[in-house]
Chains A and B, each alone.
Chain A
Amino acid sequence: MAKNDAPPRWDRKMQQRLARGEAAALGELYDRFASLVHGLAHTVLGDERAADTLTRDVFAHVWEHPDTYDPKQGPLRSWVATLTHHLAVQRLRATETAALVQAGHGSTEELERKVRHASVAARADYIVQSMPAPLRAALELAYFQRRDYRQTAADLGVTEDEARRRLRLGLQLLSTAHDASTAPGAPPGYGGAV
């Protein structure tokens, strides 16, 4: 899917309002993205309170530095997800390192494996949430409701061909969650395409 040249109006206006110091805009930003931010933070950190704290940090960062978002680079949603991912992984690495030092055993390889695993899981969640609704619906039926693809097709009112296509495409999208993790420092792949 091609990225839009013009960023959505809402994103641009939101950035301007935040820059202007409008508290009401901050509330709207929270209402739109809090569950995304908290969900990703929870996936990475695996802890409710840590996710709460990280949610506060993410919104504080956006509120204090609204200019670091460039609407030309993509949707605000992707940017917020990338920021959350970055801060959450940073936090996880810091806590795990502290735990490692304190315990006096374990290895940095284990730590990195854990961080990588959390990172992939968070990206996967984001991909599932952001994929086109028909793909998500097909995966939901086939995986969670344990419908085979013929039943999935019937439930969705599409051909069996189309059901197979959606399941395959949905998984193809999801499998890209593994991609960025192989190259350390690579952007975590919260593009606007999915």
Chain B
Amino acid sequence: MNEAERFEADDEHQGREGHGEQEPYDKSSPDEYDEYDESKESKDKEGHGSADTAPGAGGMNGGNGDARHPTPEPDPDQPPRIPLPRASVEDTGHPLPALEGLGDVAPRPAPLVLEHRVLKSLLGAWALAACSPEETAAVEEHLGGCGACADEARRLREAVGLLHPAETLDLSPSLRARVLEGCLERRPPRIPVPEWAAPYDAETARLDALLQDFGDAEWHAPVRLRWFRKDEPTSRRTTVAGVIAHLLTVDGLVAVALGLRDPMGDVAADRPTPSARTEAYWRASHFPPTRAVRAPWREQTHDLVRTVSFTGGGAGNLSVPYGDFELPLHDAMLDRAFECWVHAEDIAEAVDYPYDPPSGRDLHRMVDLAARMLPTVLAARRRAGLAAPASGAHRHLVPAGEPGRSLRLEIEGSGGGEWLIPLDSPAAVGSAEHEVAHIALDGGEFCRLAAGHVSPTEAAAGQVGDREAIRDVLFAAASLSRM
């Protein structure tokens, strides 16, 4: 196997890793799968020996005739001989030339005289109509006189009829949910996947299915990651493979918190933040990330789902440090599901594939996480002078657990709902009586806002009430975004 081919075989294998159904094909000698024709080989040798080797064989015979095979005079009663059409996807239904009586057809233009060994080796190419016309003629002449080859030729021709273009039916992501649910109803699991990990399980499976058929062109397609930083849109250029490396390193924060292996390995990041880890990982590799990153990413996603299933209830108090903040494990898994979807959309857009939003149930959980994070983010922004101070005539600090001034966030569409966001303190309770503003927007639009893909001033949101409160909440939502 030459270098190029070995590379190709490796590449093929890597692309399917994590789907290890392939027998790894790394044999350097093609003899590994030669057993198939051993028996035929010996049978053939008995019957033919070297009788096929004729003097003068081998050269390509471009002319229409020679001394031994003169070009026949055109017969006015015979239709003009037209070369057989190449078999193709479009005409697989056509009858293939009959094998019977091939021996006594009128001589073709100067059949090549080829060794039996060569003729036999041509049978596959012949059955696929992938020989030169001269070789085709030589094979067909041979079939008339060689029963073994004629048998094989018939078999191979029939086999060609079984080829058809692979149906690239993308399985509907909802099928996964339906199949798994059906199974779990029939036999309840002893170790279930926690509800809060279900969106992560579903989103990673969806992204992996998108990556399934990617070739090198797709893996290296440029992607621009976009988010909001200090209330300004910012972006970073990478590739599809770079995005998967990003997901791998940030999911790694959860892995580390659970005591699993850090995918960063020996690579050290300046800070334990998502972006610092990602940048360090990108820098540390000598070459841009390739499709090879898919297998470790997918393996880690499976390990995470499995581990949280086992730690389940007991992991309630575990928190995942993100460098600048921490999230309880439940919320971290939701956050990772959200990021997985957002970046899957980035990837889908880069390669021009359609990509649906998550199921309504999962989307609802993600919106709920964002809604629950907003009060804390508002307070932090206020401390940093980015949001209006909570000291105006209508504002009042409330004791923890008491109802406070609130904004009604109404999310429309599948997975939607209503949330009352306490505005003045994360400890306050959202209250309908103290509602000062109301914004309504589509679930997808809200998520694009929270992902930093749409600016707070341009988000398509219906707004009623205190304009300052609305502005603060929209900017706080955008500031949830990060690389």
Residues of A in contact with B (beta carbons under 8 Å apart): 1, 8, 10, 20-28, 30-36, 38-39, 42, 48, 52, 55-56, 59-60, 63-64, 77, 120-121, 124, 128, 130, 132-135, 137, 139, 142-144, 146-150, 152, 156-158, 161-175, 177-178, 192
Q: A60, A135, A137 — which one has the most chain B CB atoms within 10 A of its CB?
A: A60
Q: A133 touching B25 by the CB < 8 A rule? A: yes
B5 proximity list for chain A (CB < 8 A): 134, 156-158
B binding-site residues for A, Cβ under 8 Å: 2, 4-5, 8-9, 12-13, 19-23, 25, 30, 32-37, 86-89, 121-125, 127-128, 130-132, 152, 155-156, 158-160, 162-163, 165-167, 169, 171-172, 175-176, 178-180, 182-184, 186-193, 201, 205, 208, 212, 302, 305-306, 309
Q: Which residues of the partner chain A approach B128 to less than 8 Å between Cβ atoms?
A: 139, 142-143, 149, 167, 171
**Cβ A56 vs Cβ B179 within 8 A:** yes
* Distance in angstroms between the alpha carbons of A55 and B205 in the assembled complex: 17
Q: Closest CB-CB distance, A25 to chain B, in whole Å?
A: 8
CA distance A59 to B181 in the complex (A): 11
Whether B23 and A130, one on each chain, are in contact in the complex, defined by CB atoms closer than 8 angstroms, is yes
Among candidates B12, B20, B171, B309, residue contacting A10 with C-beta atoms closer than 8 Å: B20
A23 touches B208 (CB 8 A): no
The interface residues of chain A lying within 8 Å CB-to-CB of B132 are: 148, 150
Top 4 A-B residue pairs of the complex, sorted by shortest distance between their CB atoms: A168-B124, A21-B190, A167-B124, A124-B162
Of the candidates B33, B87, B89, B152, the one having the most CB atoms from chain A within 10 angstroms of its own CB is B33
Give CA–CA (A34, B160) in the complex, Å: 27
When the two chains form their complex, are residues B189 and A26 in contact, meaning their CB atoms are under 8 A apart? yes
Look across to chain B and name the residue whose beta carbon is closest to the beta carbon of A120: B162
Known: A32-B21, A48-B169. 17 other contacts (CB 8 A): A22-B190, A22-B306, A23-B309, A56-B178, A60-B186, A63-B187, A128-B166, A133-B9, A133-B22, A143-B163, A146-B88, A158-B2, A164-B121, A165-B121, A168-B156, A172-B36, A175-B159
Contact: B33 with A42, CB < 8 Å?
no
Q: Which residues of A contact B32 (CB under 8 A)?
A: 1
What residues on B are CB-neighbors of A135 within 8 Å?
33
Measured CB to CB, the closest approach of chain A to B89, in angstroms, equals: 6
Given contacts A34-B176, A64-B186, contact A23 B193 (CB under 8 A): yes
- Asked if residues B123 and A168 are in contact (CB atoms below 8 Å), the reply is yes
Task: Chain A residues near B152: list those with CB within 8 A.
Answer: 172
Complex Cα spacing A172 to B191, Å: 46
